[in-house]
Amino acid sequence: MPDATEPVPGATGAHVRRGPLRLGDKVQLTDPRGRLHTITLAPGGTFHTHKGYFTHEELVGRPEGTVVRNTAGIEYVALRPLLSDYVLSMPRGAAVVYPKDAGQIVGMADIYPGARVVEAGVGSGALTMSLLRAVGDAGSVHSIERRDDFAAIARGNVESFFGGPHPAWELSVGDLADVLPTVAEPGTVDRVVLDMLAPWENVGVVADALAPGGVLICYVATATQLSRTAEDLREDGRFTEPTAWESMVRGWHLEGLAVRPQHRMIGHTGFLISARRMADGVQAPERRRRPAKGAYPTTSEEWTPEDMGERPISDKKIRKVRRDVGQAPEA
């Protein structure tokens, strides 16, 4: 058997997910009440709460699933965080795509090993990690982000998770409409994933880049964004009839015979809308169903980011998160 701590050819990040716990590893601690704490093992480090502490060295060299006891006798289960755990606990500037939605995107867009994927709207890099996991080292993910500070945060999070740069990943800063034509020849992209305020503004440039049969999938937060995206996909004429959905996750309480749904659940996070690229020169057949009276407004208005639910993020917070992921701006 090969050494679990050695890099595996063609499997970036696999070696940091195996073997005994090491300095520099992120470790998720679960206390007796189910509360989670994520730490990074460091020389001379300690994990403190108001009920005692223990040193990081007590975990170094031990296998995952170890129980460590602090000075007050409280026991913690130590495991490396799963991708879903890491995404929810990592430093973030923009809001992240939740694991339930990332799983839907990977599955419903059929993102396969070796696929050529373009992602726009990187945020903090949460979805990027799922895309890279899906395409593998033989595929490619080209992420495009408008904001340089968000791109820096995403780079820090992705490289921290994979233990270094991922060979299948490229990150560009700029507008999708400007960058995509320069990084992809027409008809060469297999999948496009958009997580942005106004994806309909980029339907044309995406259609140019997608190969026939390629998939466009958009993540939007509001019903108004969903409606506008669907109508612009239909108007473009190079896509199949779009489909839209949302997913909800409800956990269950398990205690003997007291098995019931939990009182809290992850409800609405966003909508997903997907369509496939038609062959060149072939237009999708028109819909046969008649729209409801009043379904289409007679006037159009410009929408601001605030209209679509975007909350401003302070420069102070962005600077702090960049420092947390090791991507502090140069003086």
121 contacts: CB under 8 Å, gap ≥ 6:
144, 145, 146, 194, 195, 196
Q: How far apart are CA 17 and CA 163, in angstroms?
A: 9
CA geometry: angle at 313 spanning 310 and 315, to 5°?
Answer: 155
The closest of 331, 319, 329 to 91, measured between CA atoms, is 319
Weakest-pLDDT range from 156-160, 166-170, 287-291, 311-315: 287-291
The answer on pLDDT for 300 being more than 70 is no
Question: What confidence tens digit (pLDDT) does each residue in 67-108 have?
Answer: 999 999 999 999 999 999 999 888 888 888 999 999 999 999
Question: What confidence tens digit (pLDDT) does each residue in 186-200 have?
Answer: 999 999 999 999 999
Cβ contact 131:169 at 8 Å: no
Residue 14: phi and psi, rounded to 5, are -65, -40
User: Helix count (H) and strand count (E) of the chain?
Assistant: 8, 15
Residue 128: phi and psi, rounded to 5, are -55, -40
Helix, strand, coil share of the chain (percent; to 5): 30, 25, 45
Structure confidence at residue 325 (pLDDT): 86
Cβ contact 313:96 at 8 Å: no
The answer on pLDDT for 301 being more than 90 is no
Question: End-to-end alpha-carbon separation of the chain, Å?
Answer: 48
> What does DSSP assign to residue 222?
S
Among all chains, which residue has been given the structure tokens 């997913």? 247
Structure confidence at residue 1 (pLDDT): 46
Structure confidence at residue 308 (pLDDT): 61
The answer on pLDDT for 222 being more than 60 is yes
Helix axis angle, 126-135 to 148-162, nearest 10°: 50
- What is the mean pLDDT of the segment spanning 280-293? 75
The closest of 271, 204, 270, 289 to 239, measured between CA atoms, is 204
Coil, strand or helix at 57: helix
**Reported confidence tier of residue 15, pLDDT bands at 50, 70, 90:** confident
Per-residue burial over 108-119, b if 16 or more Cβ lie within 10 Å, else e, is ebebeeebbbbb
pTM for the model stands at 0.85
Length of the chain (residues) = 331
Structure confidence at residue 304 (pLDDT): 65
Listed in sequence order, the DSSP H helices in the chain are 83-89, 99-108, 126-135, 148-162, 176-183, 203-209, 223-236, 315-324
> What does DSSP assign to residue 17?
G
Coil, strand or helix at 105: helix
Q: How far apart are CA 144 and CA 159, in angstroms?
A: 16
The answer on pLDDT for 289 being more than 90 is no
**What pairing do the DSSP bridges indicate for beta strands 26-30 and 75-79?**
antiparallel
Cβ contact 205:174 at 8 Å: no
